[in-house]
Amino acid sequence: MFDKITYLDNAASTRLDERVLEAMKPYFFDTYAVATSEFGYSMGIDAKEGLMDARGSIAKTLGASEEELVFTSGETESSNMAIKGVAAALRKKKGSHIIVSRIEDFPVLNTAKSLERQGYKVDYLNVDSEGTVDLDQLGSLINKETALVSIQHANQEIGTLQDIKAIADICNEKDVLLHTDATHTFTRVPLDVSKIPVDLVTISAHTIHGPRGVGALYVREGTPLEKWMDGGYQELNRRAGLENIPGAVGFAKAVELVTPEENASLARMRDHTISKALEDIPHVTLNGSRNDRTPQNANLTFHYVEGESMTLHLDMRGFAVSTGSACFSRSLEASHVILGIGGDHERAHGSLRFTFGRYNTMEDVDAILGALKEIVEKLREISPLYAKK
Amino acid sequence: MFDKITYLDNAASTRLDERVLEAMKPYFFDTYAVATSEFGYSMGIDAKEGLMDARGSIAKTLGASEEELVFTSGETESSNMAIKGVAAALRKKKGSHIIVSRIEDFPVLNTAKSLERQGYKVDYLNVDSEGTVDLDQLGSLINKETALVSIQHANQEIGTLQDIKAIADICNEKDVLLHTDATHTFTRVPLDVSKIPVDLVTISAHTIHGPRGVGALYVREGTPLEKWMDGGYQELNRRAGLENIPGAVGFAKAVELVTPEENASLARMRDHTISKALEDIPHVTLNGSRNDRTPQNANLTFHYVEGESMTLHLDMRGFAVSTGSACFSRSLEASHVILGIGGDHERAHGSLRFTFGRYNTMEDVDAILGALKEIVEKLREISPLYAKK
């Protein structure tokens, strides 16, 4: 249909890097044994070493030790495991109160809602108009029964970074465990658990050109965590299931391939997109913070136009972007994030999210901005909302 | 170290088939978009079609409809999801009684134990000396509070096939849901859910040269199942998490590549191994049934020798086999399966499990049998147990 599709949606970061596949191949075809203990045969030991090396190199980028990293099937499993595991471990010992932010991604938000149905008490923290959580409210909500606080490192839709150090200090001072979903910041924005007292961190390979179906959970040594995925004794008996060694090795390679230069380049595309859209197109609102946001994210509302219409018109010109939450693909329901920062349904429905990845260029950005300007103008011409304004 | 390592352990079936990787590649590098609804952009729709095609073709081999198959991260997750999902859905509506066999694999067994700690009542069904469950006991244990029966289609260690039709008929007659772990039979031994009234079936790609970290759960339409992996609304809102589309496509390709001819060839290697070992080496016991076993499995106890010693000596000659359960790699604890069929610790520790896969040949089998005969003789010469007999 097109010579080239330009992905500027989540897929911009889910395309596998060829070098990741090359790193995985030996574990598909040569060292494909089941990881085994020192009692096993030699190929099993080689496979285990591949797994341990991957674990160690990923842990290092978080400032963690090797034993503190548990491989999982991705972001969703990591957050389920963290929140349900702590909740079960502390329900009787401490209490059944949990605090999450109002704009968490679905794995955290819907895990919290599921615990609520099981009798846990959940508080949903407010955020300001840029998506920053209310630290005073956090401090005042924590009580003696609080088992866990879960606040994301950055937002999945509007990219807003939280002050995770300030959040961790509050939790640490009040002796409450903290989980953070760092899916959208891992390797892009520093998070050093040797300096910031966060107890559990969700990370995933799919946001950095790594393999799908692979993630990990950082678990600080000594953190009370009931096993969630029951079965075998893999992952130091914290997560059952045949180890996905090629996946773990691919994840480690994906981590290795992210550079500060790349992150700076993503931030330049982000800044250019935001500046040009605000300058060149009337009635545009930036969603999220101008400065405290992930390098790969821009989110803008084009008023008097439907996000879905823009998406379809961009698609017809070979550009892929998202509106609302890409995870919530079954409906046109308004984004809980835009509503959470005080936006109305019109602002949510007119929003476009851009995600920049390794394979995007500044030329892509200029091309989509040019196309978007034309599309928005045309759509507004036929919009009854725009005519009435 | 060797020109060639001959895998006759679980790894014999975990080696990825090159054709599976080829089938996955377009979804790594071209159609890598996030699966989206009809409101999304065209590449998302293509990705979704890839996912639906994979789902449909796998479902078909089970006699199921497309909507009844849920992709997961593998066997362990599928069994957790099935058992915990039904248990949660029926706890108040029906009761908290669950029945599993004594020789289930760890995902089922330890999920049952975890539910027991949460107040569920679990009965562990006995098996006979070949590993066949006691159908009379099953019938008598089912009561009005029974929410679920979970009995494997075939055993992970000794390969014994259960009469799943008879089990399903008993459960169906008493109006109790049945889950079966078919990890070790899927595509190898027929299981048609349109003819056998089983409600939930665990399957996995890793046993048929498919990708690691990919499995599925068949869920009969209308089965009460509380969502276990919370988060987004993927997989018809039954399992959250970014869809692993390359994994699903690879799984479908792996299924397609299994042929009746291959299964017959595996069975010939199995039968030859069993016959030759029993004929050529004294004091050998077959574990499991002679006839009702999976085509890819042989399990033999070489009395007066330690399985670990045989494994190490075979390893030094370039052969990889397992002793006990390969999943249980952290200890030398005796296999609960061998103990379950009435074996003692000596029989468990002297056991070797052979798994035959696509890349094994009859020459491999003859070579390992020759090596094993020598090794067993040598080990017995220095065994105090053997001297005393």
| B351-366: pLDDT as tens digits | 999 999 999 999 999 9
Beta carbons within 8 Å of B173's beta carbon, 6+ residues apart: none
Q: Does some domain include residue A137?
A: yes
Nearest to A51 by CA among A242, A253, A243, A258: A243
Q: Is the pLDDT of residue A26 over 60?
A: yes
Q: Are residues B74 and B211 in the same domain?
A: yes
Which of B200, B228, B257 corresponds to the end of one domain? Answer: B257
- A268 lies in the same domain as A213: no
Mean pLDDT within B328-334: 58
pLDDT at A37: 52
Write the pLDDT tens digit of every residue in A258-286.
Answer: 999 999 999 999 999 999 999 999 999 99
Q: Which of B14, B18, B214 sits opposite A34 (nearest CB)?
A: B14
Tell whether A167 is covered by a domain: yes
Count the residues in chain A: 389
Q: Is the CB of residue B326 less than 8 Å away from at least one CB of chain A?
A: yes
Considering only the beta carbons, identify the residue of B206, B240, B308 that sits closest to A110. B240
Tokens 């679905």 belong to residue: A106
User: Which pLDDT score, from 0 to 100, does residue A11 have?
Assistant: 81
- The three-state DSSP-derived secondary structure of chain B is CCCCCEECCCHHHHCCCHHHHHHHHHHHHCCCCCCCCCCCCHHHHHHHHHHHHHHHHHHHHCCCCHHHEEEECCHHHHHHHHHHHHHHHHCCCCCCEEEEECCCCHHHHHHHHHHHHCCCEEEEECECCCCCECHHHHHHHCCCCEEEEECCCECCCCCEECCHHHHHHHHHHCCCEEEEECCCCCCCCCCCCCCCCCCEEEEECCCCCCCCCCEEEEECCCCCCCCCCCCCCHHHHCCCCCCCHHHHHHHHHHHHHCCHHHHHHHHHHHHHHHHHHHHHCCCEEECCCCCCECCCEEEEEECCCCHHHHHHHHHHCCEECECCCCCCCCCCCCCHHHHHCCCCHHHHHCEEEEECCCCCCHHHHHHHHHHHHHHHHHHHHCCHHHHHC
Give one word for B74, left, alpha or beta, with left for phi > 0 and alpha for psi -120 to 50: left
Flag whether residue B104 sits within 8 Å of chain A, measured between CB atoms: no
Q: Are residues A269 and A169 in the same domain?
A: no
Domain co-membership, A232 together with A376: no
In residues, how long is chain B? 389
* Across A7-11, A291-295, B130-134, B215-219, least confident range: A7-11
B312 touches chain A (CB under 8 A): yes
Option in B35, B77, B245 nearest A229 (CB)? B77
User: For A375-384, B154-163, B218-227, which range has the lowest pLDDT when averaged over its residues?
Assistant: A375-384
B-chain residues near A205 (CB < 8 A): none
Residues B230 and B245 placed together within one structural domain of the fold: yes
CB contact under 8 A, B320 and A33: yes
The whole-number pLDDT of residue B24 equals: 97
Which positions 45-74 of A are in contact with B (Cβ < 8 Å)? 73-74
CA B235 to chain CA centroid, Å, is: 23
Interface membership of B33 toward A (CB under 8 Å): yes
Q: What is the pLDDT of residue A9?
A: 83
Provide the H-helix boundaries in chain A.
11-14, 18-29, 42-61, 75-90, 106-117, 135-141, 164-173, 234-237, 245-257, 260-280, 307-316, 336-340, 345-349, 362-381, 384-388
The pLDDT-based confidence of A46 (bands split at 50, 70, 90) is: confident
* Residues on chain B touching A7 (C-beta within 8 angstroms): 33, 43
Contact criterion met (CB below 8 Å) for B270 and B295: yes
pLDDT at A327: 42
- Predicted complex: ipTM over 0.90: yes
Lowest mean pLDDT among A59-68, A277-286, B46-55, B116-125: B46-55
A173 in a structural domain: yes
Residue of B nearest to A359 (CA): B29
Cα A151 to Cα A179, B57, B333: the distances in Å are: 7, 40, 41
**Which residue of chain A comes nearest to B104, CA vs CA?**
A231
Question: Touching check for B317 and chain A: CB below 8 Å?
Answer: no
Residues A61 and A171 in one domain: yes
Residue B37 is predicted with a pLDDT of: 52
Say which CATH number the domain at B87 has.
Answer: 3.40.640.10
Chain B positions touching A318 (Cβ under 8 A) are none
Q: Domain check: are A273 and A152 in the same one?
A: no
Q: How far is B288 from chain A (nearest CA, A)?
A: 22
Which one is catalytic: B11, B21, B34, B327? B327
Note whether B140 and B234 are same-domain residues: yes
- Determine what percent of chain A is predicted with pLDDT higher than 90: 80
Q: Does A330 touch chain B (CB under 8 A)?
A: yes
The residues of A annotated as belonging to the active site are 327
| Residues from chain B contacting residue A9 (CB–CB below 8 Å) | 33-34, 41
**CA–CA separation, B70 vs B202, rounded Å?**
10
Question: Are residues B212 and A246, on separate chains, in Cβ contact within 8 Å?
Answer: yes
Q: For residue A221, is pLDDT > 50?
A: yes
Number of domains in chain B: 2
- Does B41 score more than 80 pLDDT? no
Looking at the complex, report in whole angstroms how far the Cα of residue B231 sits from the nearest Cα belonging to chain A.
4
Q: Which of the given ranges, A199-208, B2-11, B347-356, has the highest pLDDT on average?
A: A199-208
- Chain B residues touching A14 at Cβ < 8 A: 32-34, 242
Cα nearest neighbour of A109 on chain B: B231
Looking at every residue in chain B, the average pLDDT score rounds to: 93
Residue closest to B360 by CA, chosen among B269, B256, B258: B269
Edge-to-edge strands, sheet with B297-302: B284-286, B297-302, B351-355
pLDDT band, very low/low/confident/very high, at A38 (cuts 50, 70, 90) = very low
Six token digits for residue A300: 């803008």
Q: Is pLDDT of A125 > 90?
A: yes
Which of B5, B44, B213 minimises the CB distance to A43?
A: B5
Does residue A180 sit in helix, strand or coil? strand
In chain B, % of residues over pLDDT 90: 80
> Is A4 a residue whose pLDDT tops 80?
no
Question: Is the pLDDT at B236 greater than 50, yes or no?
Answer: yes
* Average pLDDT rounded to a whole number, residues A199-224: 98
Q: How far apart are CA A347 and CA A78, in angstroms?
A: 31
Helix (H, G, I), strand (E, B) or coil at A253: helix
The C-alpha atoms of residue A358 and residue A369 are separated, in whole angstroms, by 19
Q: Among B34, B72, B113, pick the best mutation site for testing chain A contact (most A Cβ within 10 A).
A: B34
> Which residues make Cβ contacts (< 8 Å) with residue B317, sequence separation at least 6?
B371, B375
Q: Phi, psi at residue A69, to the nearest 5°?
A: -110, 125
Q: How far apart are CA B282 and CA B156, in angstroms?
A: 26
- Residues in A closer than 8 angstroms to B114, CB to CB, are 227, 230
Q: Residue A162 class from Cβ within 10 Å (0-12 exposed, 13-18 middle, 19+ buried)?
A: buried
Answer yes or no: are the C-beta atoms of A78 and A251 closer than 8 Å.
no
Q: Do B212 and A80 lie within an 8 Å CB cutoff?
A: no
Domain assignment present for residue A1? The answer is no
Residue A8 near residue A323, CB atoms below 8 Å: no
The CATH number of the domain where A287 resides is what? 3.90.1150.10
What pLDDT is recorded for position B9?
A: 83
Query: In this model, does residue B45 exceed pLDDT 90?
Result: no
pLDDT, tens digit, for every residue of A136-147?
999 999 999 999
Structural domain of A43: 17-257
Last residue of a domain, one of B257, B280, B304: B257
Any chain B CB within 8 A of the CB of A306? no
Q: Does B190 reside within a domain?
A: yes
A213 to chain B, any CB pair closer than 8 A? The answer is yes
A238 or B387, higher pLDDT:
A238
B44 touches chain A (CB under 8 A): yes
Angle at B323 between CA B190 and CA A66, to 5 degrees: 100
Residue range A58-87: mean pLDDT, rounded: 98
Q: Establish if B369 belongs to a structural domain.
A: yes
Spell out the long-range contacts of A81-84 with Cβ–Cβ below 8 A and sequence spacing 24 or more: A81/A217, A81/A225, A81/A228, A81/A229, A81/A239, A82/A150, A82/A179, A82/A200, A82/A202, A82/A217, A82/A219, A82/A225, A83/A108, A83/A111, A83/A112, A83/A115, A83/A148, A83/A150, A83/A179, A84/A111, A84/A115, A84/A226, A84/A228
Same domain, yes or no: A201 and A300: no
Q: Are the C-beta atoms of residues B166 and B197 closer than 8 Å to each other?
A: no
- Enter the DSSP assignment of A67: G
Of A32, A76, A231, the CB nearest to B76: A231
Contact by Cβ (8 Å): A225, A238? yes
Residue A371: predicted pLDDT: 97
Using CB atoms and an 8 Å cut-off, which of residues 353-372 of chain B contact chain A? none
In B, minimum Cα distance to A76 occurs at: B241
Please tell me the predicted confidence (pLDDT) of residue A42.
67
Instruction: Pick the last residue of a domain from B208, B229, B257.
Output: B257
Q: pLDDT tens digit string along A321-364?
A: 888 644 444 555 788 999 999 998 888 889 999 999 999 999 99
Q: Is A318 on the interface with B (CB under 8 A)?
A: no
Is A334:B64 a contact under the CB 8 Å cutoff? no
User: Per the domain annotation, does B230 fall within a domain?
Assistant: yes
Q: Does residue A111 sit in the same domain as residue A250?
A: yes
Give the pLDDT band (50/70/90) at residue B326.
Answer: very low
The reply to whether B237 touches chain A by the CB within 8 Å rule is yes
Distance CA A144, CA A133 (A): 21
Q: Does B139 touch chain A (CB under 8 A)?
A: no
Give, in order, the Cα–Cα distances in Å from B21 to each of A25, B187, B210, B332: 9, 19, 9, 35
Does a structural domain hold residue A193? yes
Beta carbons of A29 and B10 less than 8 Å apart? no
Is B213 in the same domain as B273? no
Report chain B residues whose CB lies below 8 A from the CB of A114.
Answer: 227, 230
What is each CA distance from B346 to B272, B283, B306, B386, in whole angstroms? 25, 13, 8, 12
Chain A contacts of B243, Cβ < 8 Å? 212
Query: Hey, are the CB atoms on A40 and B244 less than 8 Å from each other?
Result: no
Task: State whether A114 and B41 contact (CB < 8 Å).
Answer: no
Per-residue confidence (pLDDT) for residue A328, from 0 to 100:
46
Position B8 confidence tier, pLDDT thresholds 50, 70, 90: confident
The answer to which of A41-45, A343-347, B123-127 has the lowest mean pLDDT is: A41-45
* Phi-psi sector, A213: left (phi>0), alpha (psi -120 to 50), beta: left
**CA-to-CA separations, A260 to A19, A192, A295, in angstroms, rounded:** 18, 16, 11
Cα–chain center distance at A21: 22
pLDDT at A31: 82
Query: What gap in Å lies between CA A302 and CA A136, rounded to an integer?
Result: 33
Mutate to test the interface with B, among A13, A20, A32 (most CBs of B within 10 A): A32
CB contact under 8 A, B34 and A11: yes
pLDDT in tens, B241-270: 999 999 999 999 999 999 999 999 999 999
Comparing CA positions, the residue from A88, A108, A92 lying closest to residue A100 is A108
Cβ within 8 Å, pair B241-A75: yes
Residues A359 and A272 in one domain: yes
Q: Are B357 and B7 in contact (CB under 8 A)?
A: yes
Q: Is B67 exposed, middle or buried (0-12, 13-18, 19+ CB in 10 A)?
A: middle
Query: In the A/B pair of chains, how many CB contacts fall below 8 A?
Result: 240
pLDDT at A163 exceeding the cut of 60: yes
pLDDT at A58 over 70: yes
pLDDT score for A2: 56
B320 touches chain A (CB under 8 A): yes
Among candidates B206, B227, B312 on the partner chain, residue whose Cβ is nearest the Cβ of A242: B206
Q: Would an 8 Å CB–CB cutoff place B202 in contact with chain A?
A: no
A181-195 pLDDT, tens digit each: 999 999 999 999 999
Is-contact A191 A181, C-beta < 8 A? no
Q: How many helices (H) does chain A have, and how many strands (E)?
A: 15, 12
Q: What is the CA radius of gyration of chain B?
A: 22
